[in-house]
Amino acid sequence: MSIDNPDLPDVVRASWHRFADTYEPLRGDLYRYCRHLTRSPWDAEDLAQDTMSRAFAGLGRMGSAPPNPRAWLFRVASNLWLDHVRRPRLTIEPAQTTSSPPSELRDAAGTLLVQLAPQERAAVVLKDAFDFSLDEVAGIIGTTVGAVKAALHRGRGKLLEPDVETDRVPSHGAVDAFCAAFNTRDVERLTALLLDSATVEVVGATASIAADEMRKQMLLGMLFGSQRLANAATQGGIETRFVCGALPTPPRAEARSYRGEAIALLWYAHQDGEHVRAVNRIEADGDQIVKLRNYFFTPDMVAEICTELGVSHRPNGYRWWLSRQGCP
């Protein structure tokens, strides 16, 4: 008997959209919490994405909806992060001593430092940055109120140092090649830069593996998606309230150095000039791309990176489906 159900993707997608109606307004707070727990915007966005996916799957196994969606979402994030940091490490990273420029330090509410134990870090962030009660903090990180008080006492009493990044000179080879091909709209050259096993991902929306037609379509979307962006009210693909002033002109890629890494900023034309709407992160093996991640539907992370780099940016929201909302 066949168990294939061709309508299943549509059913799941509709459920995800309803899930987003409730939990998407909490996404900004979730990113800030994940940013406190992790050491970089990339890791924070990964943790936030994983949290939303885990929460969506977990909600389907619950008898009733959580009474406090915000606290429950933070609990899912806490569990994922604590599970990650408690895994045995094959190697021990040496302590870093090189301070970063002020522009690379976290400016969220209360800087959380890497020498705090995982539970201490989570407790201090939840209590001091997000103002959860002691009972709520205990529920979120799965411990007792007494243990939370002890973690707060230890964490607050430790000497805090800035979250540091090592000073590295990034390799721009593959990123420069990507930008050159992108700016001449050379799809074949872009495709040739990808290893056959390379993955292409629009983070939070879709991903493609290996050398298939979908991967090429995703590259075309990055190159010419501005046409759909400018006409989202009729073509969909983004909430119309985020479109304001966008023009159908293809975007421009620019290589930049960010926290010791080469990245590509994607500048989109608007009626009032150019603004960054997406960031591409590229993992390379020599001159070829192993993984290409397009951060377009990640407004919190894009805002943080652009603010640190001192460049103008515009948000795209978290949704890639049609929503008829007015321009603010």
Distance CA 188, CA 216 (A): 9
pLDDT value for 93: 40
Q: Can you list the pairs that 212-220 forms with residues at least 24 positions away whose Cβ atoms lie under 8 Å?
A: 215/191, 216/187, 216/191, 218/294, 219/187, 219/190, 219/191, 220/187
Say whether 173 sits in a helix, a strand or coil: helix
Q: Can you tell me the distance from the alpha carbon of 208 to that of 303, in angstroms, rounded to the nearest whole number?
A: 26
With beta carbons less than 8 A apart as the criterion, state whether 316 and 238 touch.
Answer: yes
| Residues of each domain in the chain carrying CATH 1.20.140.160 | 11-87+94-157
* C-alpha of 212 from chain center: 25
Site of tokens 């990123």: 175
pTM equals 0.79
Question: Which residues of the chain does CATH 3.10.450.50 include?
Answer: 173-309
- 96-143 pLDDT per residue, tens: 433 444 434 343 333 444 567 777 888 888 888 888 999 998 888 888
**Consecutive H or E run containing 15:** helix 8-23
Strands (E) located in the chain: 194-202, 206-209, 252-258, 261-270, 273-285, 288-295
Q: Which residues pair with 279 in a beta bridge?
A: 265, 295
Query: For the residues of 53-68, what is the DSSP string, one character each?
Result: HHHHHHHTT-SS--SS
pLDDT at 326: 42
102-103-107 Cα angle (round to 5): 85
**Apex 256 CA angle, 106 and 43, nearest 5:** 40
Residue pair 239/323 in contact (Cβ under 8 Å)? The answer is yes
Architecture per CATH, domain 11-87+94-157, reads as Up-down Bundle (1.20)
Domain 173-309 bears CATH identifier 3.10.450.50? yes
* CA proximity to 193, closest of 206, 176, 174, 221: 174
In this prediction, the residues of the chain whose per-residue pLDDT falls under 50 are 1, 89-113, 159-168, 323-328
